[in-house]
Structure 1
Amino acid sequence: MNSPIKLGCIIDDDNTYVHLISTLIKMKNLTEELLIFNNGQEAMDYFEKAVENNAIEDLPQVIFLDLNMPVMNGWQFLEQFDKKKCNNCSLYVVSSSINPNDMNRAKQFPTVKDYITKPLEISTLEAVFQRAS
Structure 2
Amino acid sequence: LTRKKSNEMCKNSQDIICSGAGTCQCGRCKCANSEGSGLVYGKFCECDDRECIDDETEEICSGHGKCYCGNCYCEAGWHGDKCEFQCDITPWEIKKRCTSPDGKICSNRGTCVCGECTCHDVDPTG
TM-score surpassing 0.5?
no
Q: Which has the larger radius of gyration?
A: 2
Identify the structure with the greater helix proportion. Answer: 1
How does the TM-score come out when normalised to structure 1? 0.20
- Give the number of the structure with larger relative contact order, counting CA–CA contacts within 8 Å between residues 6 or more apart: 1
